[in-house]
Structure 1
Amino acid sequence: MSKAKTRKAASKRFKLKPNGDVKFRAANRGHILTKNTPKIKRQRRGMKILDASNVKSALRMLREI
Structure 2
Amino acid sequence: MEAGWGWGRKMDSKGLQKMASIDAQLRALAPKKVSEDDKLVEYDALLLDRFLDILQDLHGEDIRETV
Q: TM-score range by the shorter chain?
A: under 0.3
TM-score, normalisation: structure 1: 0.27
Structure having the larger proportion of residues in helix? 2
Higher relative contact order (CA 8 A, sep 6+): 1
Structure having the larger proportion of residues in strand? 1
